[in-house]
Chain A
Amino acid sequence: MEQANQVPKIVTSRIGLDESWGIKTYLATGGYTALRKALTSMTPEQVADEVSKSNLLGRGGAGFEVGRKWSMLKPAPVRYLVVNGDESEPATFKDHMLIENDPHQIVEGTLISAYAVGAARAFIFVRGEFALGLERLQAAVNEAYAYGAIGRNIFGSGFSVDLVVHPGAGAYICGEETALLESLEGKRGNPRIKPPYFPAVMGLYGEPTIVNNVESMSNIPWIVNNGGASFAALGVGRSTGTRIFALAGHVNRPGNYEVEMAKLTFRDLVDRPEYGGGMRLGRQVKAFIPGGVSAPWFGPDQLDMPLSQDDVAKAGSMLGSGSIVMMDDHTCMVRAAWRIAKFFWRESCGQCTPCREGSGWIEKMMRRIELGSGRESDLDLLMDACDNIAPGLTWPPQQTTICVLGPSIPSSVASAIRMFRDEFLVHIKEGGCPYE
């Protein structure tokens, strides 16, 4: 991976190295020095302080400060740490890369965090479909046990913890942290009803639990080695450090790019030769999704917005999982939105009514329009059905559902209808898709 400016690569420094996933490479590139440092020369609260100072925002999608999350942990003798590697948000593929290519970095970050929060046991929940990732992460854990980085009295520090790699079994909803905990408890992956809002209060087995994303954990060793302040010096405002953006769709060079937060714009990422290299076939941007398919869409006029959590939020969408999907002017917006609606229909857990029934109904209407049997009244009906899941269709959304999968359903459908109503009408009037 190339990097134009002098910004350090914090989480992707080993990508591309020979056997980047093995402990040999890891140790040769400074691996486990941060763990040793934390365990032998820092108190848990000092580690937590550095993370707080870094203002590291969670990289899973919600963007909640990691340090603040840790500080909410209810004091109790039994607490757990769960690392969320269930990356399933469509067009997001950064955690997949990290798990396969730098698993030791995740393990090290996890162990440091377990020390900082005093976890009794750590679990890394990996999306079941990541077979290679599971193998490499398990191999890394085996190596780390042998190296003395996991288990009893790590590095002679008196701190002991076990770490378990747990495979998922194929359900998008398990990326939602409370659904993930249910799944880790061996149950159906239904998100839990709130309150309590935070697993830090009531998590795995009802005990206080910290749930952090794989990329978040990958940042921890660097923060411990370089200090929270150095991390916070990167980026703008609340958006500190670097972040991996997963660029996909109609660009010449789709891929994962680690860039400094909030310094570049969407256009930079798409057009610069070291990143996206411009739109495929020199076509124009018709629309793009700024942060995973749960996010409302943006149009070409928003390309110059910085890659900053707050700016994107202000404009009515989110950076979410860090996935950016570019759609060129040859794209059928009805089909794109239908496919995303179909995704949510297939992935709804089915526990609460508006999501279970609404997702299927919306998918059926979208399919009908794309296939040429739409009615003009369907558009208002679609918007109203969306409104009954996310009242007001505002962002951040309100919801009639238990979890945020509900209000994610309308994001694409409502965006497409609002931005491309004419295209829907063409489908309806011509009785089919004009792009076929």
Chain B
Amino acid sequence: MSNAETPAGVHITLDGVEIEAKPGEPIIEAAERAGTFIPRFCYHPRMRAVGVCRMCLVEVSGPRGFSLQPSCYLQVAEGMQVITNSEKVKKAQDGVLEFLLVNHPLDCPVCDKGGECPLQDQTLAYGPGESRFVEEKRHWEKPIEISKLVLLDRERCIQCDRCVRFANEVASDPFIDFAGRGDHTEVSTFPDGEFASYFSGNTVQICPVGALTARPYRFKARPWDLEEAESTCTACSLGCRMAVQFSRSEVTRFVGIDSEVVNHSWLCDLGRFSYEALDSDKRLTEPKVRYRSEMAEVSWRDAMARVGSHIRSFTAGHGAGSIAFLGGAGFTNEGLYSFVKLAKTAIGTDLFDADLDGGVPASVVFASPRATLTEALAAKVLVVASADVREELPVLFLRLNDAVKKGLRIIEISEVETSISPLAVERLPLSAARVALALQSGGPDAEHLGALVAASAGEEGEGAVFLLGKSNFADPSTVYASLAAATAKKWPAAKFLFANSRANIFGAMDLGAVPGWLPGRVATAPSDDAGQIIARAADEPMLLFLLGVDPLAELPDTALVRSALDNSTVVVIDSFDSAAAAYADVVLPVAAYGESAGTTTNFEGRVTRLGQAVVPKGQSKPDFLIAAEIARELGMPSGPTAPEAILAEMSRELPLYRGLAYADLASNRYPDGLVVPLERKAVSISARPRKLDPIATPGLIAPYHQGPAKPFASEAEAGKAEPGADSPKSPRVQLPEFAIDPAAVSVAADGRLRLLLTRRLYRPTAQLAAAPILSQLTAKAEIRVAPSTLEAIGASDGSEVKLIGDHGTEVLVVAKSDKSLPDGVVQGRLGDGANLLQLVRTGTWATYVKVGSN
């Protein structure tokens, strides 16, 4: 893969000095590694070189002598001579800059880019110093909205083609293109269309001038007032590296950092603009307790006293088993560790479930040899059986899109068409349950899949990677456990990644915040999961801690959830107000993203640092501090209360984290984090920081290591660490047996349809609701059915229909016709408005609904 050291370099002469270059790399990269920075605008290390801005012209030897050539486009060749510092080169670069400024407005004082603008900076460094242009500049209408999030000022555009290339090639969302010709060329959407991409913010990030700006950031700050903290995005479990930038104690922007092994500098819009919610009035900022029917703001001391008395009285009255913790997948590892210790040691309850999605369970995750993302993208074949990757782990879609262009072979298993379908060599239109059953008992589907995998990776699946995740949110988690177990059995040499997408769900598993596990992947007695806890709470008195979750919005069987919350004593520990908070007896405000430090774990098991940029809003406190204070309230030792110290305790106490030090995760050591458990040899190697390419991501402040792989082995080595295999001290986990019930694939004979629930990136969560611009992007809930199904009930495409669940629940929802869907299935897409989760009843193998005209 790209991390491998170059076997044989080519030699070129750069300004009279011979240097070694990698075969196939452009001159600009070879020169940069040798310490010669060639100015550029259109070149971006993560995109196809187009050589249009001409800023990087250098003299290159050829059969007819030296000529000016774009160094970003021309590849090195043995014996090539390159001159970057001649008068001719200088004049050409001066000339290009002068040409660029011909039509570029000099409105730098009011331009968001002013101060971090490659055009400004390179004009200072390389430009002629004055403009000889005295004519009238080209005029365009000032910024136009090309999406809810992005504005375009065409006067400032220098036609570098970065945004258009990104949209077309990286995101596969060609909803912007160049229009017009010559010096009237403009970036444009379709006149009646918009730049509706989940990744639109990246075009703002890579714009080398102030042409593209993000509505949430516009006029918020001046670049020279910005400070930044390196961090990891927690919008999903991919763990994109990013810089949290802030000004005067306010988070103002997120900028993607180019991590070779994770996100290649890209972010999705949900992650990038989620900071919008941080300053919203929907934040919980004060501790509150209920007095009679009213919530009142109180001091932390009073709130803690109330929590403590609840814990004591429930323990005394009903036993520790009446206390349960739901959620926490949005917390830091340090917070999770502290809460699990509180629950399972101090209080003594086993009831803790961070995975409200009921995805692939920890027992399967721990028992399966995990691949790194790098391994998955270089796999002989990647089998994707999960919900739509673009909706669940958006930037993973970008990485897969890129990898497929470079030769990755994908096989998709999905009942519905997804963003992966066009990338896959084949889509098997099967449900997870069908595949699991087929793999357990054989048959044509299993044979077909077997042949497809064997074509690249043999019978054992050597070199194959499976990306498994929940594809139907109406299914119980057992379906996915069975699928994963059956897959691992059939392909014993394959590796796995799991698409559970909640931010730190893998950290939560590793730290025992899931049923049946203790911190460090240590098994304990099985216990109830979130659904079972809710079912119990509806019947028995319970004390429920809600850790950053709203079960009303996130769990199925909404009626049951409501009665559980009604019936229980509820402590809400969250950053945002939610429907569930209305049921709270105590509300504890937890510091939001960017307000506390710590670490988080991504879907590979990669632990990275979360940066603290600003102080917690109002009275809110970091998650680990809240756990420590509850422990102290109960008279227990609170343990360490700083993230460094908590991680140190984890690494001391838990073999899983052995060798991991907080300081190692800093940007000059392991900027991309480390996959736990560590391979021992990896620990002594440190990454070499690389000077930032200031043009690739203009807004970044610190000289991070970033960009394409350098020939240094740290990450490659660390990334290969295999949980439970090479590390003798890490716990070994046996893959449990799961049996799938044929009920999971049965077809209802009475005209009922099987419900297939999928989610979209912008789904109604408490945090999204608190973000004024992003929340406008939440789509309405809808269902999709085969055209014949609509016809059968006499409904038209786009009309409202009635869904009737097994227990009589009725939901009105808009129905759309979808030719790609089979008969017998109704695809429900979760969203605003109708709550489709209420149709699902916990404990059933499959959910069936009746569709009727309204």
Contact = CB atoms under 8 A, between A and B. Distances in A.
Given A365-B135, A368-B135, A391 B68 contact: yes
Interface string B76-103: 0000000000001001101110111011
Contacts of B159: 350-351, 353, 356
Contacts of B185: 350-351, 356
B57 interface: yes
B508 interface: no
B96 A354 contact: yes
B406 interface: no
Interface stretch (A125-133, A160-168, A396-404): A396-404
A189 B426 CA distance: 34
Given A193-B73, A360-B183, A364-B135, A354 B99 contact: yes
A400 B54 contact: yes
Interface in B92-137: 92, 94-96, 98-100, 102-103, 132-133, 135-136
28 contacts: A171-B181, A193-B50, A193-B73, A345-B183, A346-B182, A348-B182, A349-B182, A351-B185, A352-B52, A353-B96, A354-B54, A354-B96, A356-B185, A358-B99, A360-B102, A360-B103, A365-B135, A387-B91, A388-B95, A388-B96, A389-B95, A391-B88, A391-B91, A398-B67, A398-B68, A400-B68, A400-B95, A401-B54
Nearest to A351: B52
B246 to A, nearest CB: 36
A357 interface: yes
Interface string B352-394: 0000000000000000000000000000000000000000000
Contacts of A346: 182
B183 A350 contact: yes
A323 interface: no
A192 to B, nearest CB: 10
Contacts of B158: 353
B183 A357 contact: yes
A421 interface: no
B92 A188 contact: no
A381 B132 contact: yes
Interface string A237-281: 000000000000000000000000000000000000000000000
B91 A388 contact: yes
A416 B783 CA distance: 70
B317 interface: no
Given A350-B184, A352-B52, 8 more contacts: A348-B183, A350-B182, A351-B159, A353-B52, A353-B55, A356-B159, A365-B135, A400-B68
B52 to A, nearest CB: 5
A329 to B, nearest CB: 31
A368 B102 CA distance: 16
B180 interface: yes
B182 A361 contact: no
A350 B53 CA distance: 10
Contacts, number: 103
B70 interface: yes
A171 B182 CA distance: 11
B418 to A, nearest CB: 27
A181 to B, nearest CB: 16
A143 interface: no
A75 to B, nearest CB: 23
A357 B88 contact: no
Contacts of B95: 354, 385, 387-389, 400
A383 B99 CA distance: 14
B183 A356 contact: yes
B548 interface: no
A381 B99 CA distance: 13
Interface string A328-342: 000000000000000
A346 B185 CA distance: 11
Contacts of A195: 74
B182 A388 contact: no
A408 interface: no
Interface residues of A, number: 34
A188 to B, nearest CB: 6
A92 interface: no
A423 interface: no
A347 interface: yes
B777 to A, nearest CB: 30
A171 B185 CA distance: 14
B287 interface: no
A359 interface: yes
Interface string B162-204: 0000000000000001101111110000000000000000000
B51 interface: yes
Nearest to B88: A391
Given A352-B54, A400-B54, A361 B133 contact: yes
Contact of A350 (B68, B102, B177, B180): B180
Interface in B21-59: 50-55, 57
Contacts of B92: 388, 391, 400
A359 B182 contact: yes
Interface in B138-162: 138, 158-159, 161
A347 B183 CA distance: 10
Interface in B576-608: none
Contacts of B51: 193, 352, 402
Contacts of B100: 353, 357
A353 B182 contact: no
Contacts of A353: 52-55, 96, 99-100, 158-159
Interface string A397-418: 0111110000000000000000
A387 B182 CA distance: 20
B99 A388 contact: yes
Interface string B694-712: 0000000000000000000
Contacts of A345: 182-183
Contacts of B57: 400
Contacts of B136: 364
A365 B132 CA distance: 11
Nearest to A171: B181
Contacts of A360: 102-103, 138, 182-183
Contacts of B133: 361
Contacts of A350: 159, 178, 180-185
A217 B158 CA distance: 41
A350 B177 CA distance: 13
Contacts of B54: 352-354, 400-401
Q: Most A CB atoms within 10 A — which of B68, B132, B184?
A: B132
A87 B719 CA distance: 58
Nearest to A360: B183
A402 B74 CA distance: 12
Among B94, B99, B103, B136: residue with most chain A CB under 10 A:
B99
Interface string A357-397: 11111001100100000000000010001011101000000
Contacts of A389: 95
Nearest to B75: A195
Contacts of A358: 99
B464 to A, nearest CB: 30
Contacts of A188: 177-178, 181
B70, B96, B158 pick with most chain A CB within 10 angstroms? B96
A401 to B, nearest CB: 7
A357 B52 contact: no
B183 A359 contact: yes
A339 B58 CA distance: 33
Contacts of B70: 193
B182 A356 contact: yes
B96 A400 contact: yes
A391 B88 CA distance: 8
A397 to B, nearest CB: 11
A357 B97 CA distance: 10
B181 A348 contact: yes
B50 A349 contact: no
Question: Ordered nearest first, which 10 A-B pairs have the shortest CB separation?
Answer: A388-B95, A350-B185, A357-B99, A364-B135, A348-B182, A350-B182, A360-B183, A357-B102, A193-B51, A352-B52
